[in-house]
Amino acid sequence: MGNLIKVLTRDIDHNAAHFFLDFENAQPTESEKEIYNQVNVVLKDAEGILEDLQSYRGAGHEIREAIQHPTDEKLQEKAWGAVVPLVGKLKKFYEFSQRLEAALRGLLGALTSTPYSPTQHLEREQALAKQFAEILHFTLRFDELKMTNPAIQNDFSYYRRTLSRMRINNVPTNSCCEADLIICFSYPPYKIKAKHLNKNLPIENTTDCLSTMASVCRVMLETPEYRSRFTNEETVSFCLRVMVGVIILYDHVHPVGAFAKTSKIDMKGCIKVLKDQPPNSVEGLLNALRYTTKHLNDETTSKQIKSMLQ
């Protein structure tokens, strides 16, 4: 497909640039390689993290037995012994999320730096744009898996309750990073990422980069000519997930969010693209817009957009 191909230079309603991104074949240029290689080290571990999360089974049986027999010390010890290694696995997830946040900050710093605009960066540095999309794709997939596996929250809740009792009774523990873990597993990753991005990057450049990426994905998905260039059908779901990911991030970073009339993201167009897909394949993404965005229920959000997401 070559490099980033400009397919539309202006959006009539939102005055935003559109490009075709080669998500399948993008390779770094010499000027991209330093940051690309740093981020690639992190992304190589992403698939393994998702596999571990997907196979997470939890200690539900041991926890139920301990709760039903609160005076049975052996059952309490058994449940604690089952939960502690699982919390260690959650800590591994958390530590990876920290590495991923650092990689995302570095990428966005590169894609929004002077003298080029974010749009020019996406056009010139397609390999970094692809990595940016891969991080968003991973984050949304991670959040979906976490939110649809109640064992994760149940195990961590039991761990917190038991740890509190042990501290009250002066029982030694090896708890570490508990406060950080609480934050990580109480809030969707996008909320945490948005909080850090707000502090570290120029907001206008950041939101321009996010809105441009959303527009790029929407155009590729709704235009048969461009969609037909994908050689892998999974690229369609990748684009859908990235589009939703940048909308969520934009909504948390921008002061008035993605749903306001002044938003640079064509929300009606993006929602329409989602609804044009097979329902079973996008319900999770529609739910992400419904429940993990910040401004959907604001008074400034049009009734039509709210109705489209009902």
Q: Give percent above pLDDT 90 in the chain.
A: 46
| Tokens coding 223 | 């235009």
What are the tens digits of pLDDT across the range 2-37?
A: 333 333 333 333 434 466 788 999 999 999 999 999
* CA diameter of the chain: 70
Helices (H), the chain: 33-43, 46-54, 60-68, 73-111, 118-124, 126-147, 150-168, 178-186, 189-200, 203-222, 224-227, 234-253, 267-275, 279-291, 303-308
What are the tens digits of pLDDT across the range 63-88?
A: 999 999 999 999 999 999 999 899 88
Whole-number Å distance between alpha carbons of 144 and 285 = 9
- pLDDT at position 13: 36
pLDDT surpassing 60 at residue 172: no
Residues 6+ apart with CB under 8 A from 172: none
Check residue 8 and report its DSSP letter: E
- pLDDT at position 183: 44
Whole-number Å distance between alpha carbons of 285 and 62 = 33
What are the tens digits of pLDDT across the range 116-125?
A: 877 788 888 9
pTM as predicted = 0.81
> Confidence band (pLDDT; 50, 70, 90) for 267?
very high
| Tokens coding 251 | 């909504």
Phi and psi torsions of 18, nearest 5°: -125, 145
Strand partners, 19: 6
pLDDT surpassing 90 at residue 274: yes
What are the tens digits of pLDDT across the range 175-204?
A: 545 545 544 554 455 555 555 564 556 678
- pLDDT at position 200: 58
Mean model confidence pLDDT for the chain? 82
Per DSSP, the three-state class of 18 is strand
| Tokens coding 189 | 């990753």
- pLDDT at position 228: 87
pLDDT surpassing 70 at residue 288: yes
- pLDDT at position 276: 92
Alpha carbon distances (Å) from 76 to 69, 91, 118, 159, 303:
8, 22, 55, 12, 52
- pLDDT at position 244: 94
**Residue with the larger pLDDT of the pair 259 and 108:** 259
Whole-number Å distance between alpha carbons of 207 and 205 = 6
